[in-house]
Chains A and B, each alone.
Chain A
Amino acid sequence: MTDTNCHKIRIQDKTVQLPGQRVLFEDPMPLDSGLSFGPIEIAYQTYGTLNADKTNAVLICHALTGDQFVSETHPITEKPGWWSLMVGPGKAIDTEKYFVICSSVIGGCMGSTGPVSVNPETGNPYGLNFPVITIGDMVRAQKRLIDHMGIKKLFCVIGGSMGGMQVLQWAVSYPEMVFAAIPIATAPRHTAQNIAFHEVGRQAIMADPDWCHGAYLEKNKVPRAGLSVARMTAHVTYLSEPALHRKFGRRLQDRSNLTYGFDADFQVESYLRHQGYTFVERFDANSYLYITRAMDYFDLAAEHKGRLANAFKDSPVRFCVVSFTSDWLFPTKANRDIVHALNAVAADVSFVEVESDAGHDAFLLDEPEFHETIDGFVKGCAERWFNGHGKGAIS
């Protein structure tokens, strides 16, 4: 294993220096597909200080297009970290108390091994020779990182959307390593509708001639149009009709009349185009294919004889499931399925449905009730974990 501090990544036609750390695991890792894959590099970022007993670690699992830059200015977009509202000094995930870890998922494009990484056998980027990975594989790779850090048990694993899937996978695969799990706006499996939207995105990418059957990096091309359309479609699924109406209505963009053409007359069009355009600058098209596929393949019950409750049998983990009323991508029903499965094995579970009109993205936004819930749950867990278990106090 090799630890490195700073590292460079290639994103589109640029090379970017990333903050944070990375660790290289030379040994191949077994994948759910049956293949064995390696070496694997994990890029990660940490906030706060690991205590002497290594009992105050919180693992954050990021969503489809998230990354390890949870609570700092993003090195590419220069925007605040995607969960700065949740993670930081005095926040619900308090970096003055907890050692917060977030690693870029394998298959991603922010420094962990993915389709943009160079295949040591060929000297070229993996592209479509990268193996199809699963949420289970992502978590298996994260476990290597946590083991490498010498952390025996995570105080908490938390994440929304695909991050929530990883949280569930952690609790199911390594229950002895997780004290508290907070899956947010997620599901125990991807539904037909979820898969359908992902397929639209993938087809948009693959229809772009600049995708070059996945080998665009060697040909110095970027399938901007395809990736951008994929993002635009997906972005709509992260919002809600009321949120779109509130933000844009039918208002026109920098004009007072319709143009009777296909320019972005409406603000909502202009907004989506901007979302697509900026996304392309920070994300890799093949990563988008691989990560959406991993989400599609996610089905916790299938791994447990079709019964979700079996996955959680005898789980010692304390769960807090959170959903949002206007989230139609990972609706309350899907989150409640997790709760019912946990109830069926009498697991320790809390469940809150937060009233919000912001859609799926609500978990990233300023939703006071949501943050209070997480804050209360984490504090309640800390009371038990740090006092009840005599594992050393935190301030």
Chain B
Amino acid sequence: MTAKNNSLRSDLRLIADMIEPDSRVLDIGCDDGALLDFLVHNRAVSGRGVELSQKGVNLCVARGLSVIQGNADTDLQYYPDDAFDYAILSQTIQATNNPRHVLEELLRIGQKAIVSFPNFGHWRVRSSLAFAGRMPVTQSLSFQWYETPNIHFCTVDDFFALCQDMNIRIAKTLFLDERGRQKKLLFPNLTAQQAIFFLHRK
């Protein structure tokens, strides 16, 4: 294992562990390419990325990854059905205009999808609103309301409901606590800071 492995953020590491070697992966919202880079070099995947920020794209391309500047809402339509084994949407769905459509697109172009998001049902979020009467600013939701790119928050239970509504099979769920550690949580909707959903078509 190289140093790269150790520096991979814990939630990204959990996602990486869900991916079969030698598969085709599209990482939407791939940021600086940390996950893709890990997958390409350690899992021998054929990896592609989409990233909104120019800075992120340049970092990715400069490290030799195949990444385009684009947007989850508008650019997924150009990919053909079944183009990838996995479509990953990590910490991005809450920033899309139409999360339901993006989710549909993920499972159209990917056989499987991995979606991770900050849980708006976490007790700190709830208490911020309930007791302080202020929009929550937490570790995983670190923006003030007037500058946040996150426009479509959801809770763990909201996401379960959407998957059921869209007839999506949830193959696996992982929940992370406030320190980014994966935990078997009794009431994840209340105690998980982040959630990772591994989705299949039905």
Measuring CB to CB, which residues of chain A are less than 8 angstroms from any residue of chain B? 318, 320-321, 339-341, 343-346, 348-353, 355, 369, 372-373, 375-377, 379-381, 383
Contact = CB atoms under 8 A, between A and B. Distances in A.
B70 interface: yes
Q: Identify whether the interface residues of B are mostly helix, strand, loop, or mixed.
A: mixed
Contacts of B162: none
B65 interface: yes
A380 B65 CA distance: 7
A373 B58 contact: yes
Given A343-B78, A344-B79, A355-B54, A373 B61 contact: yes
Contact of B66 (A348, A373, A383): A348
B57 A375 contact: no
B79 A351 contact: no
B112 interface: no
20 contacts: A339-B70, A340-B75, A343-B75, A343-B78, A344-B80, A346-B24, A346-B79, A346-B80, A348-B66, A350-B60, A350-B61, A350-B65, A350-B67, A351-B67, A373-B61, A373-B62, A376-B63, A377-B62, A380-B64, A380-B65
B14 to A, nearest CB: 26
A376 B61 CA distance: 6
Contacts of B94: none
A321 B60 CA distance: 14
B80 A377 contact: no
Contacts of B60: 350
A383 B41 CA distance: 11
Q: Identify whether the interface residues of A are mostly helix, strand, loop, or mixed.
A: helix
A351 B63 CA distance: 13
Interface string B20-45: 00001000000000000000000000
A351 B80 contact: no
A377 B65 CA distance: 7
Nearest to A325: B54
Nearest first, the 7 closest Cβ-Cβ pairs linking A and B are A380-B64, A376-B62, A351-B68, A346-B83, A343-B78, A340-B78, A350-B61
B57 A352 contact: yes
B150 interface: no
Contacts of B58: 352, 369, 372-373
A343 B62 contact: no
A380 B24 CA distance: 18
Contacts of B78: 340-341, 343-344
B80 A349 contact: no
A145 to B, nearest CB: 29
B78 to A, nearest CB: 4
B192 to A, nearest CB: 34
A219 B162 CA distance: 79
Nearest to B109: A346
A375 B61 CA distance: 9
Contact of A349 (B63, B68, B84): B68
Given A343-B75, A351-B57, A353-B69, A375 B62 contact: yes
Nearest to A339: B68
A321 to B, nearest CB: 8
Contacts of A348: 46, 48, 66
Nearest to B48: A348
A53 to B, nearest CB: 22
Interface string B75-87: 1001110011000
Nearest to A369: B58
Contacts of B61: 320, 350, 352, 373, 376-377, 380
Contacts of B79: 343-344, 346
B173 to A, nearest CB: 29
B63 A345 contact: no
A355 to B, nearest CB: 7
A375 B62 CA distance: 7
